[in-house]
Chains A and B, each alone.
Chain A
Amino acid sequence: MSPATYAYYPGCALHSTAKEYDVSTKLVTKALGIELRELEDWICCGASSAHTISRPLSISLPAHELVSAGKQGLPLVTSCAMCFSRLKFSSKEIQDPETREMVGQVLGEEVPENQEVNHLLEVLSREEIPVTRSLSGLRIACYYGCLLTRPAAVTQFDDSVENPQIMDRLLQRLGAETLDWPFKTECCGAGMLIPRRDIVIKLSHRLLYQARQAGANCLAVACPVCHSNLDLRQREMRSRYGDHFDLPVLYFTQLIGLAMGFSPAEMLLDHHFSDPMPLMREQGWVKKG
């Protein structure tokens, strides 16, 4: 039985570009009786940038949250795969006493040696989810991204690095069909969106192409960075590669919410750039008209 209370680290994106992820996370967990206590003074984990600039900083920034959660004596959960990765790397680095001391010096606080870190997917996959509206009709390509499963020794996320199943199984339980496709953990381009948009568009295009090949009518993601790259850039992919995907990219929490009976509006499905509404109408979630 998983504990019902977690220290919640949303990460920056969930307060801005991934607002719908934050909202759906909160609604779903509340309905399931899981209490997420958002850390009061949380700061950015450094994401994909800090670790190329400063090693002390890149370990200390996530450790700030390890300290806060440790003070509350609660297991930590985050919804963002990037934050999850940074937290996990930091946890691993501070196993080394010398590094732990260094981080303690930077933060001016004692750093706990062992602080449990979860990704929301891990927490929700352990829950019984009451289905009021089956997701049947959705053919979902579950996209895990690079950082949930890799490196296995650090993240200890799923049995499989290349073909994880945890999100597939969760969504299958909600009645969806999930697809066996080979790009579940290929990179979307991550934080290169601003400085090297060309890389992101190329890699994300590759992913959407494969998802469509596999017969997907939508994608499910568990990371706001992946979501931005896949959702925001479909028009640019069209002008560059001529592929007209129009594939909705949904957070897995939004899908859980729909299955639990929340409306598409409550799950902020209208916040996406690649509009999920046609699919919702086709599947009878929203009345045509």
Chain B
Amino acid sequence: MSRIGVFICHCGRNIAEPVDIPAVMEATRAIPGVVYVDENQFTCSLPGQDSVRRAIVEQRLDRVVIGACSPRMHEETFRKALASAGLNPYLLEIANIREHCAWVHGNDRPAATAKAIELVRMAVAKAARNQALFPKEIGVTKRALVIGGGIAGIQAALDIADAGHEVVLVEREPSIGGRMAQLDKTFPTLDCSACILTPKMVEASQHPLITLRTCAQVEAVRGFVGNFEVDIKQGARKVDQEKCTSCGICWQKCPEKVPSEFEMGQGKRSAIYIPFAQAVPAIPVIDTEHCRYIRYLKFNEDKEEGKAPPQCRICEKLCPPQAIDWEEEDSLITEKFGALVVATGYKPFDPTVYEEFGYGHYPDVITGLELERLMSASGPTDGQVLRPSDGTPPKTVVFVSCIGSRDETKGHSYCSQTCCMYMAKHAILLQEHDPEVQSYIFYIDIRATGKGYEEFSRRAQEEAGAQYLRGRIAKVYPKDGKLVVQGEDSLIGRPVEITADLVVLAAAMEPNTGAAEMAQRLSISYDSDHFFVQAHPKLRPVETQTDGVFLAGSCIFPSDIPQSVAQGSAAASKAAALLNRDHLVTNPMTALVDPLKCTGCLQCVAVCPFNAVETQLSREQRTLAVINEGTCKGCGLCVSACRPGAIDLRGTTNQQLLAEVMALW
């Protein structure tokens, strides 16, 4: 029989007035197992805690029940009191006789008293079945993985590395830089995107604690906070990074030209290429789909019919340091990390679904990102804005907002946040390029909520002379080599028709290709648009429900550069704070599988939100569920899903819950 001590708190008059405390104490004394009952004015006060400690020692108590306020208030306080008296802190139970009793039944003393007695009885019944629990300490792998080498990922990597931790930065493309590298200038300051980004890219590549892995992708993630194990697929460049001097002969001489992804298909690159001049690393990569020699090899291997592609190999012949390595294949690397930062970014919405706007049908209907490349001095037109159809400079340009945003039938219901500002920027820049340009901007609402944004948007109207028209457009069609745009100005309430040279669609930002698969690999949630879900939208904006996995940038929601950088830094500070610790204390209230009862049905695996249930083979080769205590959060979903009743939850066992219920009768 246990030796349980019960302490009833008056909480001044908070409990003592609505509840007859002597009656509660008297009833409690009669409960089997209770050897000591005491009362306090304020049990949470130092004298109150002292009385508990003293009683534990003097009365040799092995369980403690405190009838007081909500455990959400003082559970931690009293657990510490128990510990300081030498008792395992998990041998404490609290009967919530204030919030759940005294304060809600204040006008009915007998009922409140009767309820308080029962609440204490339930707590005693549960406490009698409490077990000593021992949190585990686990080590922390003091390295971080940053997934995605756009501005958010670069910022996160730099900040974590500056805090003194090793970082691996994984990027799918051959260069880091992300979408920001494609931009010409940035709002609202109009500083050149490359000028502010390139130094950061170089810094990341030269930081002693940062390892860049470009052409690489995360394949699988195992483990838990502090101890992740990640498989990274390192794509083959077929160029030896050690030997390559980035001299550029290969990509200049390669005869195979294909549309450049970086230029949004508006310019050409060779089959061996760096995506853009300032690429980091500046090591070329061979595009195995287009390289003539690789096509020749595949042709022979597959014994295809027809004429074989030429055995080109010009790059190999001309490469001074002989860095071309045809033998190099993709490889799988497994590394350990303590924290993960996910910054996988966005991709632009494909406007071809709007048949009425003719994107993809009429060459002079382009997207905002395509215009960025046309405006960029390093772009396919050397910074001259020219119409894709005939190469003439456009004089009348129509911008259309909300292409795929705020559209529940063909796009997304959300606002992409950045378009209003970049349309204003484009209007200002076009006017700077050519003062004769007249811009028209169709908008539904101007969303200019950042610092200096509203002023910037005004500048487009007042100084750059952009004509803002409130309304969506309905159709774009060609007429005499130009484009007729049909819209409405909803402020005057009349249909509008503008004959334009160029139409620029502000395509929505949507999560990058493969976002949902990435979320599944990381056991984090994603919403119906496939943006990643934060642990709390306000108070934990860069954390996820999975400890140790942090988020930054447009993979959370469309973000502009300042926001992405801020989130990168925020995620880095969270990751660094985690990596600064030598060990982590686990929550001991985790699930536990009884291997004798487990039938291996693995219902638990199916319901566990944290992938905390692993499987093992027993000695007789039976599949058994095993809980990973590092990952288990103690929700208990597996317990109620377990048909043979093989799983229990420490701290809220089936027996304890049953005892609480039985104590009522």
Residues of A bordering B, CB below 8 Å: 160-163, 182-183, 210, 213
Q: How many B residues touch the partner, as a band?
A: under 10
* 0/1 string, B18-52, CB within 8 A of A gives 1: 00000000000000000000000000000000000
Asked whether A163 lies within 8 Å of B479 as measured between CB atoms, the reply is no
A interface majority secondary structure: loop
For the complex, what is the distance from the CA of A210 to the CA of B484, rounded to whole Å?
Answer: 12
Contacts of A161 in B (CB 8 A): 355
For the complex, what is the distance from the CA of A160 to the CA of B361, rounded to whole Å?
Answer: 14
**Of B356, B358, B475, B479, which contacts A213 at CB under 8 A?**
B479
Contacts of A183 in B (CB 8 A): 477
Residue of A nearest to B484 (CB): A182
For the complex, what is the distance from the CA of A213 to the CA of B479, rounded to whole Å?
Answer: 8
Residues of B bordering A, CB below 8 Å: 355-356, 358, 361, 475, 477-480
For the complex, what is the distance from the CA of A11 to the CA of B336, rounded to whole Å?
Answer: 74
Contacts between the two chains (Cβ within 8 Å), count: 15
Residue of B nearest to A183 (CB): B477
For the complex, what is the distance from the CA of A160 to the CA of B358, rounded to whole Å?
Answer: 12
For the complex, what is the distance from the CA of A120 to the CA of B480, rounded to whole Å?
Answer: 35
Contacts of A210 in B (CB 8 A): 477, 479
Residue of B nearest to A213 (CB): B479
Contacts of A160 in B (CB 8 A): 355
The contact sample of 15 A-B pairs, CB cut-off 8 A, is A160-B355, A161-B355, A162-B355, A162-B356, A163-B355, A163-B361, A182-B358, A182-B475, A182-B477, A182-B478, A183-B477, A210-B477, A210-B479, A213-B479, A213-B480
Q: Smallest Cβ distance from B429 to chain A, in angstroms?
A: 30
Q: Smallest Cβ distance from A140 to chain B, in angstroms?
A: 19
Contacts of A213 in B (CB 8 A): 479-480
Q: A182-B477, A210-B479 are in contact. List 13 more A-B contacts (CB 8 A).
A: A160-B355, A161-B355, A162-B355, A162-B356, A163-B355, A163-B361, A182-B358, A182-B475, A182-B478, A183-B477, A210-B477, A213-B479, A213-B480
Q: Smallest Cβ distance from A149 to chain B, in angstroms?
A: 10
Q: Smallest Cβ distance from B324 to chain A, in angstroms?
A: 45
Q: Smallest Cβ distance from A122 to chain B, in angstroms?
A: 20
For the complex, what is the distance from the CA of A162 to the CA of B354, rounded to whole Å?
Answer: 9
Best-buried of A182, A183, A213 by chain B (most CB within 10 Å): A182
For the complex, what is the distance from the CA of A89 to the CA of B63, rounded to whole Å?
Answer: 74
For the complex, what is the distance from the CA of A161 to the CA of B356, rounded to whole Å?
Answer: 9
Residue of A nearest to B476 (CB): A182
Instruction: List the 9 closest A-B pairs by CB distance, nearest first.
Output: A182-B477, A162-B355, A162-B356, A163-B355, A160-B355, A161-B355, A182-B478, A213-B479, A183-B477
Residue of B nearest to A162 (CB): B355
Residue of A nearest to B362 (CB): A182
Q: Smallest Cβ distance from B455 to chain A, in angstroms?
A: 39
For the complex, what is the distance from the CA of A163 to the CA of B355, rounded to whole Å?
Answer: 7
Contacts of B355 in A (CB 8 A): 160-163
For the complex, what is the distance from the CA of A162 to the CA of B361, rounded to whole Å?
Answer: 12
For the complex, what is the distance from the CA of A134 to the CA of B477, rounded to whole Å?
Answer: 31
For the complex, what is the distance from the CA of A161 to the CA of B355, rounded to whole Å?
Answer: 8
